[in-house]
Amino acid sequence: MITVQPSVPAAVLKSLLHNGIVHRALALAVATIVLIAVRHPTWVPYAVSLYAIWNAAAVTLNAVQATRAAKS
């Protein structure tokens, strides 16, 4: 019998979900699908740019919160 080992530890997945990275990635995927479905594929680069800004801000804020928590 072959056992399948997860390639990513559960703690890492939990951390990614907690930080919202997965949610932001899903939001980008949905936005891309919707824009293509409504025949506005030229807007996809703008959605990706907004996602990049949103993601960078969120990651920065999470890093600040982690730093503050570590100091306490």
Greatest distance between any 2 Cα atoms in the chain: 51
* pLDDT tens track, the chain, 72 positions: 667 666 767 777 777 777 788 888 888 999 999 999 999 999 999 999 999 999 999 889 988 888 898 887
State the pTM of this model.
0.67
